[in-house]
Amino acid sequence: MRRRRAIGYYFSVISPKRILVFRKSSLGDIILTFPVLQTLKAEFPDAIVDYLTKSQYAPIIIHHPAVKNVIAFDSSLSFINAASRIRNNGYDLFIDLQANFQSLVLRSILISTRRVKYPKRRLARELVVRRPRMKLKVDHTVNAYLSPLKRLGIDVASTIPVLPVPEREGDLADKLIQASFPADCSRLIALCPGARHIEKRWPHFDKVAERLLRNPLIGLMIISSEKDGFPANLGIENPRLVPIRDNEIMAVAALLSKCKASVTNDSGLMHLACAVRTPVVAIFGPTNPRLGFSPTLPGSKIICDDVFCSPCSVHGKKRCGQREKYCFNNITPERVADAVLDII
């Protein structure tokens, strides 16, 4: 058990019996909260930990060994219904990792519950964006999510998010791989060309695929969504290239766990790959590792030129305002493919 700090300003209840953790989205952020769950499990092994989140992210939380119940919602109305249901659950600790208006609703419902929340750091991250030439940075988001636990008297240490892959999902992934790839493909690599915001999508994954396929031992999974707007196979016909499109999130996690490496943009799949212990080559352009969302797994590689105008937004929503997309200009397929080969 971790050593607790002296009680005083800190949490007066040494061992809470029931804890509610709230983070509603998105995929990467949900995964980066896992060290909080891991710490709670180690510090309060007898406590019941419930997690409130959006329905689409429930599958990656439900199998976490620290979580007893996942309370899910998918709309404002269902959030209110979920919030009403938790009123009488007897929580003596509420850990707010979202810090938004819905958090205030929960605080008003759990009025007699001890509450701690993480520092959103909105102004600090905006300053990183507004003054890109100063090369400012914020601490990693994992550490931001862990910081409320210090108010409980816990000496926290930054840890790596871990997502356990259920045995059934692992078996299904093995069967799909055996059925889809030639037997001599001993080095599987995942290419994940998508990202929620189009500006973050580096455009040359097809060229990386062509270079990697020159090695007869390499098999490629192209993991994407139809919303990404490109062909599922990147326009490449090859028996060692298998498109994986719009699969359920735990099926994707299981497939990623079978790969030697993955190539991603700054996206939720970058964090998912790290959480299942698959090293990533992470490509950053309009966003930047200095904003606190870099890959967490040792052995991963970051490709980011950190040009004069990067980052231009916190989450990659803003359209590029330059004459050229300087942040991607010098990131070549050769450079990315070489980074992958260094890993495997």
SS (H, E, C) 64-87: CCCCCEEEEECCHHHHHHHHHHHC
Residues 207-245: pLDDT tens digits? 999 999 999 999 999 999 999 989 999 999 999 999 999
Angstrom distance (rounded) from CA 177 to CA 215: 18
Q: Does residue 2 have a pLDDT over 60?
A: no
Tell me what pLDDT residue 8 has: 40
Q: Does residue 11 have a pLDDT over 70?
A: no
User: With contact defined as beta carbons under 8 Å apart, do 253 and 165 qualify?
Assistant: yes
Tell me what pLDDT residue 14 has: 60
Please report, rounded to a whole number, the percentage of residues in the chain having pLDDT higher than 70: 96
**What is the DSSP secondary structure assignment for residue 232, as one 8-state letter?**
T
Distances in whole angstroms, Cα of residue 159 to Cα of each of 1, 142, 321: 15, 8, 37
Q: Does residue 10 have a pLDDT over 80?
A: no
Angstrom distance (rounded) from CA 99 to CA 83: 15
**Topology agreement, domain 18-152 and domain 168-343:** yes
Residues 275-292: pLDDT tens digits? 999 999 999 999 999 999
Closest by CA to 271, choosing from 26, 21, 36, 23, is 26
Confidence label for 158 from pLDDT (cuts 50, 70 and 90): confident
Tell me what pLDDT residue 15 has: 84
Angstrom distance (rounded) from CA 208 to CA 193: 11
User: Could you tell me which residues are beta bridge partners of residue 4?
Assistant: 154
Angstrom distance (rounded) from CA 254 to CA 276: 8
Kindly report which listed range (2-16, 80-94, 126-140) carries the lowest average pLDDT score.
2-16
Q: Does residue 18 have a pLDDT over 50?
A: yes
Q: Does residue 24 have a pLDDT over 80?
A: yes
Report how far Cα 103 is from the mean position of its chain's Cα atoms: 21
Mean pLDDT of all residues belonging to the chain: 94
Confidence label for 13 from pLDDT (cuts 50, 70 and 90): very low
Residues 167-204: pLDDT tens digits? 999 999 999 999 999 999 999 999 999 999 999 999 99
When the candidates are 1.10.630.10, 3.40.50.2000, 3.30.930.10, 1.10.8.50, the CATH number that belongs to 168-343 is 3.40.50.2000
When the candidates are 3.40.50.2000, 3.40.50.300, 3.40.430.10, 3.10.129.10, the CATH number that belongs to 18-152 is 3.40.50.2000
The DSSP-derived string for 131-169 is -GGGT-----HHHHHHGGGGGGTB---------PPPHHH
Tell me what pLDDT residue 112 has: 84
Q: Is 180 helix (H, G, I), strand (E, B) or coil?
A: helix
Distances in whole angstroms, Cα of residue 23 to Cα of each of 30, 110, 143, 183, 294: 7, 16, 15, 42, 19
Residues 293-322: pLDDT tens digits? 999 999 999 999 999 999 999 999 999 999
Please report, rounded to a whole number, the percentage of residues in the chain having pLDDT higher than 90: 91
Residue partners of 139: CB distance under 8 A and separation at least 6: 292
Kindly report which listed range (54-58, 64-68, 227-231, 246-250) carries the lowest average pLDDT score.
227-231
Residue partners of 52: CB distance under 8 A and separation at least 6: 20, 21, 22, 23, 24, 70, 71, 72, 73, 82, 86, 106
Domain boundaries, the chain: 18-152, 168-343
